[in-house]
Structure 1
Amino acid sequence: MSEYVEHAQTGASVGRVEKRFFSFAAPPDVLTVESGRTLGPVTLAYETYGALDETASNAILVLHALSGDSHAAGYYDKSDAKPGWWDIMIGPGKPLDTNRYYVICSNVIGGCMGSTGPSSVDPATGRPYGSTFPVITIGDMVRAQKRLVEHLGVTKLLCAIGGSMGGMQVLEWAVRYPDMVRTAVPLATTTKHSALAIAFNEVARQAIMADPKWNCGDYYDGEKPGHGLAVARMIGHITYLSDESMRQKFDRRLQDRCEISFTFEEADFQVESYLRYQGQKFVDRFDANSFLYVTKAADYFNLEAAHGGGSAVSAFARARCRFLVASFSSDWLYPTYQSRAMVQAMKKNGLDVSFVEIEAKWGHDAFLLPNARLSGMLEGFLDRAAADAAREAGHAL
């Protein structure tokens, strides 16, 4: 039995939820992205859970990872095969308790789950942007989220929380808008991609662009580059796991056979079949161009270069919030030494920082799985944040 199954999930579901849309930056007030290009109008798909309190001080912004979206909890219909991607954490009685907190999650710009991205229609041409969509950055994603948060009546977040690419957004929020973030929880993330992480993303992008059906990004009137995108997902999925988790799940076990086939067409091993399944499932729900843009944004992310002149200490000098940083022992995509480095830079600035390396054998994806230790730490961390916010609100009255 997997270790994360042993911890019974507590709390209730938020129930049926609705995806909503916020549009801004209509011409001539367009959004200028960091590449210098302009974009507008811009739409963000988002969901909220819980209610904003009278002082608007209980808002938690959840930032999703590369292939995530705004659907973080609950379900759209009772026939849904599974709930939102972080349903284990969001809901009544869960760590992000929607009886207490107002939880916001939006799909990033450049995405394909309702927010403006390369599959969206360019108002100037009446056709999907495709590869004419401007290259965007983590900073551009956060600037767009700020507009949404303000639209929802929130001037200061109780907490910004997210893992992987979501954790990058958390760090960006903390240093770009220090007065708007009370606490921050970056999980399984980094201040900048290593050469290894960039290399895996580049191989994945090349798999898409080598697919003849990619057609330089202009494939929306025909067949999509499904084979290239499936291979890209297979490459990425390997980085989310660990040697131990793959050994436990698959080892060298054969798939529905007693002997090897001596062919290339069939999946002899269970791990081969699993990766093919994951690749095809991804093709059914994700846009190939969005994969190119979002991975490029993650590769370009460099917090110290953008905000500290090349120094992580200087970058975190801008932050004012309290941090809870968590890494996972088997995560080789964003290993613990990267989290320790950011914690050291935070502490050199006198910031209030808690750090934990959580023992988990499931690799990078461990932050998406139930973990009693992480849940307990989040509950205590948010309790303290809420108490601080209530004290400040009381003094302000």
Structure 2
Amino acid sequence: MRKITDNTEYPGYLLKCQEKLLLDSGKVISDFQVAYQTYGNLNDDKDNAILICHALTGDQFPAEESPITKKKGWWDLMVGPNRPIDTNKYFVICSNVLGGCVGTTGPNDINPETNKIYGPDFPTITIRDMVKVQKILVDELGISKLLSVVGGSMGAMQVLQWAATYPESLKSIISIAGSLKHSAQNIAFDEAGRQSIMLDPNWDNGRYPEKNQKPENGLSVARMIAHITYLSEKAFQNKFGRNLQEKKDLSFGFGIDFQVESYLRHQGRSFVDRFDANSYLYMTRAMDYFDVSAEIQHNQDKIIKNSIRFLVLSFTSDWLFPTKESKEIVSVLNSIGSNVSFAEVVSDRGHDSFLLDEPQFFKVCDGFLKGIR
């Protein structure tokens, strides 16, 4: 049984599913829920819906104040009235991913089989599992075909998975700063972050929620490591250089001397207040397992039959998901005869460019969506 209700903990809605969800691992999750938010109105033909897929540390609130941090929505420059994803025209859906920590079933929730918090007993998930749950949500909303599926970074992985697994259910996708598979370098960064969490004594083999504690130091360091990859060298240099933090001379110690050190420590400290460490482990692992190349090739006839339009975007200074990886997406899509457009946006702000004010990026997305029929 499936039922949509108001979300009493966060803005938006909950889809509660009293059923078993079979995962790629062969494991099963029972009685799961999906937390989601919508913007705009679904038209009578139900053909103006756009699904937004969030990145690793995102949530279902791209276009409104976060109920957790009280900051602006993480994509309010892209989504909203008269924005590229115009909520005056489109019905926008965004859900917290499976394994997340903002309302959708994840490792910090109660396992109905044991009536205890899942913790490390939560089964390992994949990007395909996340998309499978999103498809259930879209079906329950009565939408047979999405106008577009849009996402950046881990969101781009979900976008490509949608095209590979459910090509009959969408007209277009926009893949932003993504790849066909996670690179060895990115797996290495993820593993460094996971180890920083797992080596924190407060992680307690993932059982920390039972003791009402958090591996704050480990999660903070994991965030610091990841955040370095989100900016370009030039962005760091322009923002901080070698400027000292509220002092004139070096301390000749291991406290904070440089502004960039203060910035990273702030990013780490603030992250632990809004994110769950176990969710971080599970979601980074899902990214590491991602490789959609073969599935696109396998389902090429369905992809072509459904005339999906693809827009693939990259940024010149992104070294986490560099342009060459977006070009690999384009190459695979061209090899099966897809309708694919590609643009490399000039930006010196690194991987996070897709979250920032980049007029060229907005213009390309806006034009592409206006051309979808």
TM category (shorter chain) comes to: over 0.9
CA distance in 2, matches of 1:80, 1:197: 27
Structure 2: state its 5+ residue gaps. 1-9
CA distance in 2, matches of 1:55, 1:373: 32
Instruction: Provide closer, same or farther for how the CA distance between residues 37 and 314 of structure 1 changes in structure 2, counting only shifts above 3 A.
Output: closer
1:304–1:315 contact (8 Å) kept in structure 2: no
Counterpart for residue 261 of structure 1: 251
Does residue 197 in structure 1 map to residue 181 in structure 2?
Answer: no
Counterpart for residue 7 of structure 2: none
Counterpart for residue 22 of structure 1: 15
1:122–1:129 contact (8 Å) kept in structure 2: yes
CA distance in 1, matches of 2:263, 2:87: 35
Q: 2:318 aligns with which of 331, 334, 337?
A: 331
CA distance in 1, matches of 2:329, 2:65: 36
Q: TM-score, normalised by structure 1?
A: 0.88
What letter matches 2:71 in structure 1?
K
Shift of 1:75: 3.0
Matches within 5 A, 1:69-88: 69-75=59-65, 81-88=70-77
Does residue 287 in structure 1 map to residue 280 in structure 2?
Answer: no
Three-state SS of the structure 2 residue aligned to 1:139 is helix
What letter matches 2:369 in structure 1?
L
2:148–2:171 contact (8 Å) kept in structure 1: yes
Does residue 272 in structure 1 map to residue 261 in structure 2?
Answer: yes
Q: 2:241 aligns with which of 251, 266, 286?
A: 251
Instruction: Provide closer, same or farther for how the CA distance between residues 332 and 316 of structure 1 changes in structure 2, counting only shifts above 3 A.
Output: farther
2:151–2:159 contact (8 Å) kept in structure 1: yes
Shift of 1:153: 1.3
1:303–1:315 contact (8 Å) kept in structure 2: no
Structure 1: state its 5+ residue gaps. 1-16, 389-397
Shift of 1:275: 0.4
Counterpart for residue 300 of structure 1: 289
Three-state SS of the structure 2 residue aligned to 1:203 is helix
Does residue 353 in structure 1 map to residue 353 in structure 2?
Answer: no
Counterpart for residue 110 of structure 2: 121
Three-state SS of the structure 2 residue aligned to 1:175 is helix
CA displacement 1:212-269 (0-9 Å, x = unmatched): 00000000123200000000000000010110000001111111111111112x1111
1:190–1:339 contact (8 Å) kept in structure 2: yes
CA distance in 1, matches of 2:25, 2:360: 41
Three-state SS of the structure 2 residue aligned to 1:361 is coil
2:293–2:332 contact (8 Å) kept in structure 1: no
Q: 1:41 aligns with which of 31, 35, 38?
A: 31
Shift of 1:288: 0.3
The 4+ residue runs of structure 1 with deviation greater than 4 A are 313-318
Counterpart for residue 154 of structure 2: 165
Three-state SS of the structure 2 residue aligned to 1:145 is helix
Shift of 1:91: 1.1
What letter matches 1:372 in structure 2?
P
Counterpart for residue 375 of structure 1: 362
What letter matches 1:257 in structure 2?
K
CA distance in 2, matches of 1:195, 1:351: 28
Counterpart for residue 7 of structure 1: none
CA displacement 1:48-93 (0-9 Å, x = unmatched): 000100100000000000000101112377x974221111111111
Deviates more, 1:187-196 or 1:348-357: 348-357
CA distance in 2, matches of 1:262, 1:316: 60
Name the structure where strand makes up a greater proportion of residues. Answer: 2
Does residue 50 in structure 1 map to residue 40 in structure 2?
Answer: yes
Three-state SS of the structure 2 residue aligned to 1:350 is coil
CA distance in 1, matches of 2:355, 2:302: 29
2:55–2:155 contact (8 Å) kept in structure 1: yes
1:58–1:100 contact (8 Å) kept in structure 2: yes
What letter matches 1:226 in structure 2?
E
CA distance in 2, matches of 1:80, 1:368: 17
Q: TM-score, normalised by structure 2?
A: 0.94
What letter matches 1:242 in structure 2?
S
What letter matches 1:365 in structure 2?
D
CA distance in 1, matches of 2:212, 2:99: 21
What letter matches 1:294 in structure 2?
M
What letter matches 2:59 in structure 1?
D
Three-state SS of the structure 2 residue aligned to 1:30 is strand
CA displacement 1:191-232 (0-9 Å, x = unmatched): 101100000000000000000000000001232000000000
CA distance in 2, matches of 1:384, 1:256: 51
Q: 1:93 aligns with which of 82, 93, 100?
A: 82
Shift of 1:373: 1.1
1:95–1:375 contact (8 Å) kept in structure 2: yes
